[in-house]
Amino acid sequence: MTPCKNCRKPLSRDEIALYKRLIYRGAEDDECICIKCLADKLNVSEAALFDKIDHFKKAGCTLFE
């Protein structure tokens, strides 16, 4: 399991995909951060990020499987 670069929490596939989709598509898995750290970084709520994951999945984004 790949850990969050910031807090070392194990990352889910969705968290890795969201980081790549929102921050940097070419990021390596071990450069990614978890949804909580991403929410802090972007100054949004975690709920808003979960909504984005849903949105990207529904839109058929290939990063989310």
**Interacting residues with Zn ion (CB under 5 A):** 4, 6-7, 9, 33-34, 37
Closest to Zn ion by CB, 18 or 33: 33
Toward Zn ion, which CB reaches closer, 39 or 63? Answer: 39
Nearer to Zn ion, 17 or 58 (CB): 17
Secondary structure in 3-state letters for 7-65? CCCECCHHHHHHHHHHCCCCCCHHHCCCHHHHHHHHCCCHHHHHHHHHHHHHCCCCCCC
Q: How near is the Cβ of 17 to Zn ion at its closest, in Å?
A: 15
